[in-house]
């Protein structure tokens, strides 16, 4: 399968001047379905489309597998960083999520802090994690 054939899911949302764009796909090379392990990669682009500097402080994810089991993930920053974004700047990173089923979903938020110290949550809209061919 070439990259052009890659089956991707996506979501996009904007909260208080912060746009969060997500693209996700199944990663067969990191998966082992016979051991009930499906792995998904997702790429996130966080863009400051507002007029004030913001810093990403924390992340929160709600991960739901195909059986409805829910897992909450909280932590500081993303991929070990707490990026500060001036107006017009973006930050991109790639991460992954293992599931015990061939499909599920993720949604979450990023705790953001403005230069004046005020805080808000930037939504990361729901996106699907789907092994191609697993849902008919």
CATH number of the structural domain spanning residue 40? 2.60.40.1470
Q: Is residue 135 part of a domain?
A: no
Residue 91 falls inside a structural domain: yes
Counted domains in the chain: 1
Which two tokens mark 123?
A: 């939504």
Give pTM, 2 decimals. Answer: 0.92
Tell me whether residue 11 is in a domain.
yes
Structure tokens at 72: 């909450």
In a domain, 136, yes or no: no
The range of the structural domain enclosing residue 60 comes to: 3-130
Tokens 């991460």: give the residue.
95
Residue 79 domain-assigned (yes or no):
yes
Q: List, for residues 31-70, the tens digit of each pLDDT value.
A: 999 999 999 999 999 999 999 999 999 999 999 999 999 9
Predicted confidence (pLDDT) at residue 1 exceeds the cutoff of 60: no
Query: Does the residue 32 lie in any domain?
Result: yes
Query: 89 lies in a domain?
Result: yes
Residue 10 lies inside a defined structural domain of this protein: yes
Residue 71 near residue 100, CB atoms below 8 Å? no
């Amino acid at each position: 399968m070439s990259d052009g054939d890659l089956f991707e899911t996506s979501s996009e949302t904007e909260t208080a001047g912060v746009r969060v764009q997500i693209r996700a796909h199944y990663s067969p090379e990191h998966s082992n379905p016979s051991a009930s392990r499906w792995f998904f990669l997702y790429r996130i682009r966080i863009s400051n489309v507002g007029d004030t500097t913001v810093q990403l402080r924390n992340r929160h994810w709600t991960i739901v597998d195909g059986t409805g089991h829910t897992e909450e993930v909280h932590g500081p920053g993303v991929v070990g960083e707490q990026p500060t974004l001036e107006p017009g700047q973006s930050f991109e990173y790639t991460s992954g999520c293992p599931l015990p089923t061939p499909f599920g979903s993720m949604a979450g938020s990023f705790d953001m802090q403005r230069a004046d110290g005020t805080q808000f949550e930037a939504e990361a809209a729901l996106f699907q994690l789907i092994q191609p061919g697993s849902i008919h």
